[in-house]
Amino acid sequence: MNTFNTEKQNKVNLPGLVHVNYKKEKVVITALFVFLLLQFNIKAYAGDDKWQFTIASGIHSFYAPVENLKWDNSRFMVSGGINLLLGQKQLFSAGLQFGYAQNSYQGDAVSLQFLVQVLPVTFKRIELGFGTGAGYRFSGYPSSPLKWNGNSWEDTNKYKGIFQIPFQLSAGFRSLNFASVQVIPFAAYHLQALFGYNPDFVPLPDSSLMFGFKFRF
């Protein structure tokens, strides 16, 4: 497959968030767990079993026919969300997903997505998932990046907002029961089309492989 050069070829090698910060990861994961536990408590008293909560972690990477944008630059990612199960057999869901991801090119990023999914069940226990939606990603570099204006290097915006269209494929096991909580372990492949990241490649795909759990009462 042919490749083409990006504007990074004319840039200096700027310091970025290349190394995984494990302390930061633990803080993010702990915060997500606390958030979900609080939601469990609220919904348990409400007696509403149509709400489902998710938490997952994995790796993500840009992958495209572009130099220096290959899957071998994978970084840590974690997500948590809330879904409303729809239909008598609850084969559909709509919800919000919050994510935190690291990346050496774009910097650490947080995102919020609205995701609609179809959840057919096969072999009585295997829950498949096909979803899409829309979201927004906000990222920031540790220092102001430089951009070549044709004559000299100049500072650019330290923060960047990116519109994204997600596509998700997943498979899980229905289900494990612990007291009044139903748990569905799952694996998911998440592909996102990023718009506005680079004017030479629109949209830019960002893919992730996630493992996690769905909870509901």
Dump the DSSP string for the chain.
---B--GGGGS-------S--HHHHHHHHHHHHHHHHHHHHHHHHHT--SEEEEEEEEEEEE-SSBTT--GGG-EEEEEEEEEEEESTT--EEEEEEEEEE--TTT-EEEEEEEEEEE--EETTTEEEEEEEEEEEEEEE-SS--EEE-SSSEEE--SEEEEEEEEEEEEEEE--EEETTEEEEEEEEEEEEEEESS-TTSSSEEEEEEEEEEEEE-
Q: Note the pLDDT of residue 158.
A: 72
CATH classification for the domain delimited by 18-216, as one of 2.160.10.10, 1.10.357.10, 1.10.645.10, 2.40.160.20: 2.40.160.20
Higher-pLDDT residue of 132, 200: 132
Q: How confident is the model at residue 97 (pLDDT cuts 50, 70, 90)?
A: very high
Note the pLDDT tens digit of each residue in 169-179.
Answer: 999 998 888 88
* Average pLDDT of span 180-209: 83
Residue 79 has pLDDT above 60, yes or no: yes
Contact 194, 137 (CB under 8 A): yes
Q: Tell me how far apart the alpha carbons of residues 116 and 171 are, in angstroms, rounded to a whole number.
A: 15
The ranges assigned to domains in the chain are 18-216
* Average pLDDT of span 100-116: 84
